[in-house]
Every structure is written in C-alpha cells, then in structure tokens.
Structure 1
Amino acid sequence: MKFSVAAALFTFVASACAQTTSTPSTGGISVVHPTSGIEWKAGTTQTVTWNVVDAAQAKTIEKITLRAGSSNNLTTAYIIDNTQFDASTGKYDWAIDAKTETAVSYSVEVTTNSGSSYSPYFTIIGAAPGTTDNSKLGVQPGDEKKTSSTSASADSAQSSTSTEKDESAASSLKFGALVGTIVAGTAVALF
C-alpha cells in the first residue's frame, strides 16, 4: 500500500510538471508571458508579452489588469494600466508595485478593443498575504495613468528584516500550496 501511494504521488507530480499551458487567443491576441511557473518579485519591472493573432480584432490595448483567485472566479487585484496604445507593440513593461501581496494564483488580463486574453497562473513574491489591500494599488479611479516607479523606489528603502519576513511568508505560502496540491492529487489518485 505504501508503495502504491508513493507511486501515485510521483505519477501525479510528474504529470503536473510535464503539462504545458496554452493560452487561448481572445480579443485578437494571445498572452505569451508571464507563463506557468514564472515567479516575479514585487518592486521589479517585468515584461508582459503577447502575440497578435488577428490584427483586425486587436488594434489597441485598452487596459492591463492583474487578476487573482480561482480560474472560474477571477477577481481584480488591481488595474496595471488603462492607457490605450497600439496592440502591435506586443509588450508592456510593468513596474510591479512593491506592495503587491504574495500569491501563487495571479493572471494578467490584457484587454483589446474587441476582447480579453489571460496569462496562465504565475506567482508574485511580495508583501505577506493579508498585509496589503491590492485594490488600493495600480490605477485608481480618476488617475489618467498610474506610475509605480515613485512608490517602488520609496518601498525599496524598506529594511532588510521586513523583506526577509515577506520572503519567508511567501516561501511558506508556496510550500503550503504545493503540499495541498500534492495531498489533493494523492487523494484523487487513491480513490
């Protein structure tokens, strides 16, 4: 019995690691990056990229949004940018707000003039969960365009002790999510 549980667990983990995520095209684009398994740190600048698969549909990018939660009920963490620009650029340099909470289930939604496309889940390592209200980050009502470079540079002056605590909390969160996934997968494999 112990061997079959271990074999089932190994099979589950191996199959989960071998899966590749394909992002469907909607709104005339397909988000390429971030992708599954990516881990970005809050307070850094990362590049969101997409392929234009239908130029007639995707003329302008209307908004870029950070989403979080269950895939059947994604909620808005915050609006990254709501300034229109040409979709054919294929990329957006995102200065991730240093106060963004750590989570393993983020997705970037890129909205064009005709619809939206989502990235696969990725991780942001940042503030400890429950310490920041993500909805107060990014573009706020009345903002023409929010730039997070000012807040990012001010936040980067935090003490290393605070950063170590945030990284420790993030590691614990990721480990807990992995253990929960493995346990759930093992239970499914056993029954």
Structure 2
Amino acid sequence: MKFSAAFVAFVAGAVSFVNAQQSDAGIFFTHPVLGSNFAANTAQNITWTVINPAATNITNIELRKGNAENLDFVQNISNEEIPVSRGFYQWVVPQNLTTDTSYAIIAKNQQGGATYSAYFTILATPPGLNPPVSDPSPAPAPAPAPAAAASSAASSA
C-alpha cells in the first residue's frame, strides 16, 4: 500500500512538472531582472536564455504591470516572430508610460505558453523634458541680412 501511494505521488509530480514545462515559452529572462530600471524613450535589450531545446519562436511580447496574481495588460511590445535562439529583442520604451515599479514582460510562443520576467521599474520622462511638439504652422520668412538691407536702401536713394 505504501508503495502504490508513493508511486501515485511520483506520477502526479511528474505530470505536474511536464505541464509546468509546457506552459512556459521555453526561455528564462536575463534582462530585465528585479531591480532593473528602464528610462522612457531609451532603447533597452530584453534578453533571455533558452531553457527548453524544443522551443523555437517567441510570437508575442507584452508589457504588463500590477499585482503578480493578475497583471494588467499595458501594451504589445512585439507581435513579430522572433527565434528564441536570437536571445534578445531591442525595445524603445515609450515616452507615455508612467513611473512604476511593478512592470513585467511576458513572452508567448505559438503553443500559448508564456514566460514572465521579474518586476522592473520604468522611469517616466520628467515634466519639462519632453521633446518639443512640432508646430504645424509654417515658419516665418527669415529677416533680410543687415548688409543687404543697407545696400538696398543706398541704391534706392
């Protein structure tokens, strides 16, 4: 009886392990890690190591934030198919994100498996440092140079 209970527990544990392996995207994030800071409007490399040799591609990368039990979707980072063997994706952090310490990245594969990064911080662009907004009105014509204005006045006299 003890043997059969131990065997059942072993099989249940093995099934749980297999299911856990199938439920991720086959990678482990190496950046960002806990304590990483990403500044808005900067290029950042999202990097990973392949932990499942059967993994082939990442099909979607998302930015999320909030409670680990129910992370809120913020935006798609990439919908392109990225070979996991590449090991990175370069992302320009959007300027419109708010400062928060509870951001996480999720990478998904074509089977629906997902791997989560550790929490990291995004630092918003401080007020007053935003790039200037372009003015759609036409630029004024340049003023004539002083020498040209003086010679024009002399020739008309």
TM-score scaled by length of structure 2: 0.64
Tell whether the 8 Å contact from 1:42 to 1:96 is kept in structure 2 after alignment: yes
The answer for unaligned runs of 5 or more in structure 1 is 1-23, 129-154, 160-191
Aligned to 1:131: none
Q: Runs of 4+ in structure 1 displaced over 4 angstroms?
A: none
Task: Report the Cα distance in structure 2 between the residues aligned to 1:50 and 1:156, rounded to whole angstroms.
Answer: 31
Aligned to 1:157: 131
Aligned to 1:37: 35
Task: Report the Cα distance in structure 2 between the residues aligned to 1:36 and 1:158, rounded to whole angstroms.
Answer: 33
The answer for unaligned runs of 5 or more in structure 2 is 1-19, 134-157
Task: Report the Cα distance in structure 1 between the residues aligned to 2:53 and 2:109, rounded to whole angstroms.
Answer: 11
For residue 61 of structure 2, give the secondary structure of its aligned residue in structure 1: strand
Is residue 61 from structure 1 mapped to residue 58 from structure 2 by the alignment? yes
Q: What is the CA distance between 1:29 and its match in structure 2?
A: 0.9
Aligned to 1:91: 88
Aligned to 1:165: none
- Cα deviations across residues 93-133 of structure 1 (Å, max 9, x unaligned)? 011111111111000111122311111000000158xxxxx
Aligned to 2:120: 122
Aligned to 1:177: none
Task: Report the Cα distance in structure 2 between the residues aligned to 1:103 and 1:158, rounded to whole angstroms.
Answer: 24
Tell whether the 8 Å contact from 1:46 to 1:94 is kept in structure 2 after alignment: yes
CA-atom RMSD in angstroms: 2.2
| Structure number with bigger Rg | 2
Tell whether the 8 Å contact from 2:25 to 2:58 is kept in structure 1 after alignment: no
TM-score scaled by length of structure 1: 0.53
Tell whether the 8 Å contact from 1:33 to 1:49 is kept in structure 2 after alignment: yes
Aligned to 2:76: 79
Aligned to 1:111: 108
